[in-house]
Amino acid sequence: MVILRCLRGFHFHQMSHLFSYEGVVRNGKSTAGHQRYLCSHCRKTWQISFTYTASQPGTHQKIIDMAMNGVGCRASARIMGRWPQHDFTALKKLRPEPVTSRIQPGSDVIVCAEMDEQWGYVGAKSRQRWLFYAYDRMRRTVVAHVFGERTLATLERLLELLSVFDVVVWMTDGWPLYESRLKGKLHVISKRYTQRIERHNLNLRQHLARLGRKSLSFSKSVELHDKVIGHYLNIKHYQ
């Protein structure tokens, strides 16, 4: 059974070839010859069947779900029988936030914040695109992230996002810029205490095809690279 809801909540049921409706009437056919329907209450029109598979209801969400579960854009297009450009267009509409909304600044305390940077690239391995992010060790969730080169400027952007949170202990690896930038703070430098965020790096490479090592799947544009990874962090950690 397919249930279609109009803007005011009136619904139309299609079950096999038997129709029952409330204020829904046939409204001609599309240019491809498919039947269209009209809600007499809100005047919204729609159709149920489509010639092009990318126009089917729910396709946009399927594209995102597949991208979040290790399927590349071109592989997704082959599986669902559509042009890859439709996947690119759908993913470009994503608007991920760079910081979590689960932890409230000023009221929640982050006892231990692990920080790390993960290597990635766009187009060629010479065009590196690093992911810098912070991980709440106690809550087991990502707090904020930024993209850029592996420089102090990118680290500063991440620390600026984290400045609104009350962090007690910082935990990082031995990258010298962490030590110089966190001087005067309670800072632990140890591979042992960054195991949680290192384990999360594996999750990213497993769930996002564009981050897999020794793979033919990789980002071709900075925009898609940032938005796909950012959306993954949003749905898994920020919302």
For 125, the token pair is 């391995």
User: Is the per-residue pLDDT at 15 higher than 90?
Assistant: no
User: Is the per-residue pLDDT at 2 higher than 70?
Assistant: no
pLDDT, greater one: 43 or 152: 152
Tell me the H-state helices in the chain. Answer: 59-67, 73-80, 84-92, 152-162, 176-181, 195-207, 222-233
Q: Provide CATH 3.30.420.10 ranges for the chain.
A: 109-238
pLDDT tens digits for 197-229?
999 999 999 999 999 888 888 999 999 999 999
Any idea which of 74-78, 135-139, 141-145 has the lowest mean pLDDT? 74-78
pLDDT, greater one: 6 or 125: 125
Q: What is the mean pLDDT of the chain?
A: 87
233, 96 contact by CB (below 8 A): yes
3-class SS of residue 64: helix
pTM of the entire predicted model: 0.80
Quickly name the fold that domain 109-238 has.
Nucleotidyltransferase; domain 5 (3.30.420)
